[in-house]
Chains A and B, each alone.
Chain A
Amino acid sequence: MAGAAHPEAMAPPKKGATRTAPPRMPGSWWGAPRIRTYLLFGATGIIYLLAGTVVLRLVWALGNGPDAWDYALGSLSHPLYLIFHALTFVSLIFVGVRAFGTMMPKMQPRNGPFPPLPAAAVRGLIYSVWALLTLLLSLVLSGKIF
């Protein structure tokens, strides 16, 4: 097994007469591909934190007048920013795909007497809505509509 788990993990409410060895974490913790995906999923939080600071910077620039706003917008075209945009885009897709995959449980909630839709149909629906919203947002942000 890998490292030690929390010493109180699954500890009995009252200490028994027999001495026990402390709990250990599963050995697959770092090695299993599923766990690596889970850790990567958690690590994307850092990217969203950084993206949040970019948004704050833009809001700050907005409050400082049109020149500051134009400068802030212009700086987003810097190659480092472009790399960051690409990273954010990839991490968003990764989180979405993982969430849509794992949030389609074997046991779906039921609404009244209606049987749940097949998982593939729900997943298809989610991806369609996602693609549609992305397209709509892209058109709005690029000034093609509205």
Chain B
Amino acid sequence: MMAEEARTLTIEITRFDPDRDEVPKTQEYEIQVQDDWKVLDAINYIKDEVDPSLSHRWSCRMAVCGSCGMMLNGEPKLTCKTALSDYDSKLKIEPLANFPIVRDLVVDMDGFMEKFRKVKPWIVRAKERAEDMENLSEKGTFSQSPAQLASFKQFSMCINCLLCYAACPVIANEPEFIGPAAIALGHRYNLDTRDEGDGQRNAIFRGEGTVFSCSFANECSEVCPKNVDPAAAVNQAKLGAVVDWAKGLILPRGGA
């Protein structure tokens, strides 16, 4: 097999050292790259061979861990999944938009973690039922049909890479908005037949971090590297809120 031919590529990278810099600046690196490289390979090359002071996050190299999301020429992408051959002459690499920058290409994810925790992305049971726990091996507790699984499986493919947050114009302007990934995962558990926590999650969706902040830009679903559809989750959550509101007006005791 012939070795891939190397070419020169100018890569512009955001640099920020909280101990020295007031604001982020950019630094250019001119390196020899191969077209079978992913963008992450080029960043790792710079880190290993050119400038060891560069900070960035990465882990699995196969679009599973969601660590290496960055802005590539202004678009949020996973660097381990994006081919370097997509960029002819110049590539600009920046940390994820809409997040505070900790250092170079590393962003502060704590704000997301807080929002994520609020939507309780786990199965919530109203109370542990005695019958749930009886004869587990015989009845296969919490059994679920393939159709029931299909109703939420797509949303569960989210890897929390935060590209949707970096793409969302609402997140950039409304800090209270709970955001696409958190809504998608909260909605995923609301749709899960084993779960009984929809009331708690809907209080978040319809309250402080309201889903109605979403202005239907659809950017979250466009940039998702795992083909998850957070915009669909947001809009289904909106629809659910409207249906419950209408039920409250029409039905006795609010349809409860």
Q: Which residues of A contact B (CB under 8 A)?
A: 1, 5-6, 8-14, 16, 18-29, 31-32, 34-35, 38, 41-42, 102-103, 105-110, 112-113, 115
22 CB < 8 A contacts A-B: A6-B174, A9-B99, A9-B175, A10-B175, A12-B108, A14-B110, A18-B18, A18-B102, A26-B75, A28-B74, A29-B169, A34-B219, A34-B222, A38-B216, A38-B219, A102-B231, A103-B235, A105-B229, A106-B154, A109-B232, A110-B151, A115-B147
Query: Of residues 147 to 163 in B, which have CB atoms within 8 Å of A's CB atoms?
Result: 147, 150-151, 154-155
Residues on A with beta carbons closer than 8 Å to the beta carbon of B102: 18, 20
With A11-B111, A12-B108, A12-B110 known to touch, is A24 a contact of B97 (CB < 8 Å)? yes
For residue B171, CB closer than 8 A to chain A, the reply is yes
Number of residues from B at the complex interface, CB < 8 A: 55
Check B233 against A102 for contact (C-beta < 8 Å).
no
| Complex contacts, A29 vs chain B, CB 8 Å | 169
User: Cβ of A105 and Cβ of B175 under 8 Å apart?
Assistant: no
Chain B residues whose C-beta falls within 8 Å of the C-beta of A11 in the assembled complex: 100, 108, 111, 175
- Closest partner residue, chain A, to B111 (CB atom): A10
Judged by DSSP, the binding face of A is: loop
B134-153 with Cβ < 8 A to chain A = 145, 147, 150-151
Of the residues A10, A24, A38, A105, contact of B171 by C-beta under 8 Å: A10
A23 in contact with B219 given A1-B97, A10-B99, A110-B151 (CB within 8 Å): no
Given A9-B172, A28-B74, A107-B233, A19:B218 Cβ within 8 A: no
* A5 touching B97 in the complex, CB below 8 Å, given contacts A11-B111, A26-B71: yes
What does DSSP make chain B's interface, helix, strand, loop or mixed? mixed
On chain A, the residues within 8 Å of B173 by CB distance are 5-6, 9
A5 contacts B172, C-beta separation under 8 Å: yes
Question: Is there an interface contact between B227 and A106, defined as CB atoms closer than 8 Å?
Answer: yes
Interface string of B4-23 (1 = CB under 8 A from A): 00000000000010100101
Q: Restricting to B21-37, which residues have a CB under 8 Å from any CB of A?
A: 21, 23-24
Q: Let me know if B75 and A21 touch, CB within 8 A.
A: no
Question: Which of A23, A27, A107 makes the CB contact (< 8 A) with B99?
Answer: A23
Min distance, Cβ A101 to any Cβ of chain B, angstroms? 9
Q: How far apart sit A25 and B168, CA to CA, in the bound complex (Å)?
A: 9
How many angstroms from the CA of A64 to the CA of B28 in the assembled complex? 71
B76 CB, nearest partner CB in chain A, Å: 7
Residue of A nearest to B76 (CB): A26
B contact residues around A5 at 8 Å (CB) = 97-98, 171-173
